[in-house]
């Protein structure tokens, strides 16, 4: 991971600090398929901690995408012992 990937104020030296929260990743890709109804499609790729194998969810429902995002955010905000 490069410094550009980190929030401001966090350096590589902080990486070994066990009190620093791990940083997960969530990527949402959306598109439309004109020959389908509904035409909305989404792929959500996510991980909770660096180095984990990413999970993937697909949906044609924006509310399902939002549900995955909420679950991911909740896991990111919970103390590590509760995840």
Q: Which pLDDT value is given to residue 50?
A: 80
For residue 63, being part of any structural domain is answered with yes
> How far apart, in whole angstroms, are the C-alpha atoms of residue 1 and residue 12?
9
For residue 7, being part of any structural domain is answered with no
- Specify the higher pLDDT residue, 64 or 14: 64
Q: Is the pLDDT of residue 15 over 60?
A: no
The total of structural domains in the chain comes to 1
For residue 6, being part of any structural domain is answered with no
For residue 16, being part of any structural domain is answered with no
For 8, the enclosing helix (H) or strand (E) is none
Q: Is the pLDDT of residue 1 over 50?
A: no
Determine contact, residues 51/3, Cβ cutoff 8 Å.
Answer: no
Q: Is the pLDDT of residue 6 over 60?
A: no
> How far apart, in whole angstroms, are the C-alpha atoms of residue 66 and residue 63?
5
For residue 11, being part of any structural domain is answered with no
In terms of residue numbers, what domain contains 77?
21-82
Q: Tens digit of pLDDT for each residue in 36-82?
A: 999 999 999 999 888 888 999 999 999 999 999 999 999 888 776 65
Q: What DSSP assignment string belongs to 9-69?
A: T--GGGGG-TTSPP--EEEEEEEE-TTSSS-EEEEEEEESSTTSPPEEEEES-HHHHHHHH
């Amino acid at each position: 991971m490069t410094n550009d990937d980190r929030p401001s104020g966090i350096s590589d030296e902080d990486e070994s600090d066990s009190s620093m929260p791990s940083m997960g990743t969530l990527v949402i890709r959306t598109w439309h398929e004109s020959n389908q109804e509904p035409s909305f499609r989404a792929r959500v790729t996510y991980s909770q901690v660096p180095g984990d194998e990413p999970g993937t969810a697909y949906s044609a429902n924006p509310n399902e995408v939002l549900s995955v995002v909420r679950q991911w955010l909740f896991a990111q905000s919970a103390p590590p012992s509760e995840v």
